[in-house]
Every structure is written in C-alpha cells, then in structure tokens.
C-alpha cells in the first residue's frame, strides 16, 4: 500500500484547496502567542590594534595590545614556529619565551568571542643577537 500523503493529489490539490486555506484550524487558541524565537546577531570582536613588542632579549619578548570590544580571548600565533603557539590568552598581553637569538618573528593576533574571531593583526619582531 502506498503512502497516501506522498501522492500527487495530496501534495498539490489538497494543500491548495480554498477550504483548507480558509480553515479556522490555525485560529484556535492553541496557536495564540506562538512566535518564532529571535535569533541574536553574532557579535564578532574588533581586530586588535596597537601591538607593542617590549622587553626583547635573545630568547624572549613581551607583547601587549589594546583590548578589543566584545573579545573574551585572543589567539596568538608566531612564525617561524615556537613551542606552545598558537595559543589563546584571556588578557591583551603575552610573554613569549623559547625564541632563538637574532631570529625575526611574525606575530599574528586575533580577538575572539563565542560568535567568531576578528581579522588578524600582524607585527614583526627580531630577538637580540
């Protein structure tokens, strides 16, 4: 036995029937007050600005930047690769250790929230030789 609801008659004629469209079924009290829940707009943080590199030695450096609106964490990546990176930090600063003397590094930082991450901000730094 085939499924009656899958038949072309039910899929076209029945649903387009003037009686069905004018039915009081959807006017019953059960449907009063039913609404579609509002979906909040995602809030993506602004990209970090003002990256400062300080305290540069042969093997470490200190990073700081301006806090980003709506960020609850920052993703810090360094290349060439440094052990422990990329990593997330909850405050707008980081202390990077384990670097090589006289090496040039590119630091990339993005601000993140539960809704997503900002664009990347980059800064170059070279350790002391």
Per-residue pLDDT of the chain (129 residues; tens, 9 = 90+): 555 555 555 555 555 555 555 556 556 566 566 666 777 888 999 999 999 999 999 999 999 999 999 999 999 999 999 999 999 999 999 999 999 999 999 999 999 999 999 999 999 999 999
- In this predicted structure, what is the pLDDT of residue 32? 62
Whether this prediction's pTM lies above 0.75 is answered by: no
DSSP letter string, 65-129: EEPPTT-SEEEEEEES--TT-SEEESSSEEEEESPPTT-EEEEEEEEEETTEE---EEEEEE---
49-126 maps to CATH 3.90.180.10: no
């Amino acid at each position: 036995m085939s499924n009656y609801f899958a038949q072309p008659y039910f899929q076209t004629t029945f649903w387009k029937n003037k009686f069905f469209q004018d039915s009081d079924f959807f006017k019953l009290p059960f449907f009063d007050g039913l609404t579609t829940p509002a979906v909040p707009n995602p809030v993506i943080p602004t990209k970090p600005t003002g990256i400062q590199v300080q305290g540069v030695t042969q093997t470490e450096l200190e990073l700081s930047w301006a806090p980003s609106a709506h960020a609850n964490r920052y993703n810090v990546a360094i290349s060439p690769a440094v052990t422990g990176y990329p990593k997330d930090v909850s405050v707008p600063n980081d202390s990077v250790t384990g670097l090589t003397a006289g090496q040039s590094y590119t630091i990339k930082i993005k601000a993140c929230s539960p809704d997503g991450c900002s664009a990347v901000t980059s800064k170059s730094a070279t350790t002391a030789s």
